Amino acid sequence: MHLRGLLLLAALGISSSIASVLNDTKFIFAFGDSYTSEGWGGTGDPLLSQNPTSCSSAGPNWARQFNTLTNNTRLVNLAVSGATSNKDIVFASPPDFRSQVTSFINFVAPFPDKVAWTKDNAIFTVSFGTNDVNNSYKNTVGNGTSLYSQDLDSYFATVDKLYTAGARRFLFNNVVPFDRAQIGISQGTTLQAKLKGSILDFNAQLATKAETYCASKAGITCAVFDTHALFTNIMDDFRNFGFATPDGVCSAYASRGGCTVLPADSSCLGPVSVYVWKDGLHPAWAADTLWAKGVIAQISAIN
């Protein structure tokens, strides 16, 4: 599988040897939105709600598959469906990245008897931007440059709280081209184009700010995974990736949740695995498999 445009920060000396991260990793801490969430609601002790119950992918999502493919390291999933990086900048009612990190600091970080993580055996994945863009792009000036700059400044201020708590290994996922999913197509050409530009603006700023932030910190290992390039490749060449449609959905799958693979429905083009998108916004589990494998390939390629 060819992945275009992977964003690697190792060239700046930010990553000493992130390839060894996979060998050393015992814990994965995941922060994000519905693309990553497995059902935790964002309040109380997240360690009490780690059974995968609600995934937007009609099967195991990318974070769970990343966990499974890395020798079944322990995944502690603090992602909350619907979340943004900072709800005071881009509103969404669910607990945002700041709140998710507060829960980590209050309930997880200080308790090695519950989760025996260290700076050397844990990787922290951060996946925001879908709701940040989707909830704002219709009302922004231009592509939202000013708004997303504020949003991403908050994003890395929150990352810094994780760094202060001891985190040293970070994976940042950028935003998939969901302008090409039904939620974008249904807006018409003008708004779809604005959505596309807003996603690209957010992703460009994420790359720049990640580079700046990680270069400023001692002992840190960072990588930005270009999910946008991956999903662009998948949709451009969907048949060779094993999909039946680049942007179609089947209502029989779209209307159902859960983290186990749905049985095939005869009203659809095939099993859910032949769809890139589970519904109008969320990738299906087979596309998430490529996401998880892509993350592993990128990390493993850095020397």
CA nearest to 199, candidates 216, 217, 212, 184 = 184
pLDDT average, residue stretch 243-247: 98
The answer on pLDDT for 303 being more than 60 is no
Nearest to 279 by CA among 249, 299, 300: 249
pLDDT bin (cut points 50, 70, 90) of residue 21 is low
Q: Can you tell me the mean pLDDT for 224-228?
A: 97
Task: Answer yes or no: is pLDDT of 290 > 90.
Answer: yes
**Whole-prediction pTM:** 0.93
Residue 49: count of CB within 10 angstroms of its CB: 16
Tokens at residue 80, please? 């909350």
Q: Are 276 and 246 in contact (CB under 8 A)?
A: yes
pLDDT at residue number 1: 26
CA distance 59 to 277: 12
Q: What is the pLDDT of residues 97-140, one digit of tens each?
A: 999 999 999 999 999 999 999 999 999 999 999 999 999 999 99
Tokens 């048949």 sit at which residue? Answer: 239
Q: What proportions of the chain, in percent to the nearest 5, are helix, strand and coil?
A: 45, 10, 45
Task: Give the type of residue at 64.
Answer: R
Average pLDDT, integer, range 79-83? 98
For residue 236, the tally of other CB atoms under 10 A from its CB is 12
CA distances for 27 relative to 51, 76, 82, 90, 167, angstroms: 16, 7, 24, 30, 11
What is the Cα 175 distance to its own chain's centre?
Answer: 8
Pair 223, 9: CB distance under 8 Å: yes
pLDDT score recorded for residue 302? 59
At 146, list the tokens: 């000013």
Question: Tens of pLDDT along 30-54?
Answer: 999 999 999 999 999 999 989 899 9
**CATH fourth-level superfamily of 10-301:** SGNH hydrolase (3.40.50.1110)
pLDDT of residue 9: 34
From CA 42, how far away is CA 163, in angstroms rounded? Answer: 21
User: Which tens digit of pLDDT belongs to each residue from 159-174?
Assistant: 999 999 999 999 999 9
pLDDT-based confidence at residue 22 (cuts at 50, 70, 90): confident
Mean per-residue pLDDT, 181-195: 98
Using pLDDT thresholds of 50, 70 and 90, give the confidence band for residue 71.
confident
DSSP alpha helix (H) spans, the chain: 19-24, 62-69, 97-107, 130-134, 145-164, 182-185, 189-215, 227-236, 251-254, 285-301
Triad 215, 219, 222: Cα angle to 5°: 55
Assess contact for 126 and 173: CB atoms under 8 A: yes
Angle at 16 between CA 230 and CA 161, to 5 degrees: 80
What is the percent of the chain with per-residue pLDDT over 70, rounded to a whole number? 92
- 3-state secondary structure at position 223: strand
What is the β-pairing status of strands 27-32 and 122-127?
parallel
Angstrom distance (rounded) from CA 19 to CA 290: 19
CA dist., res. 86 & res. 132, Å (int): 8
Is the pLDDT at 57 greater than 90, yes or no?
A: yes
Contact 303, 17 (CB under 8 A): yes
In the predicted model, is pLDDT for residue 237 greater than 50?
A: yes
Look up residue 77 and give its amino acid.
Answer: N
Give residue 273's pLDDT: 97
Three-class secondary structure of residue 160 per DSSP: helix
User: Taking a C-beta distance cutoff of 8 angstroms, is the pair 53, 40 a contact?
Assistant: no
Q: What pLDDT is attached to residue 49?
A: 86
> What's the whole-number mean pLDDT along residues 55-76?
93
Question: CA 233 to CA 3: how far, in whole Å?
Answer: 7
Q: Give me the chain's average pLDDT, please.
A: 92
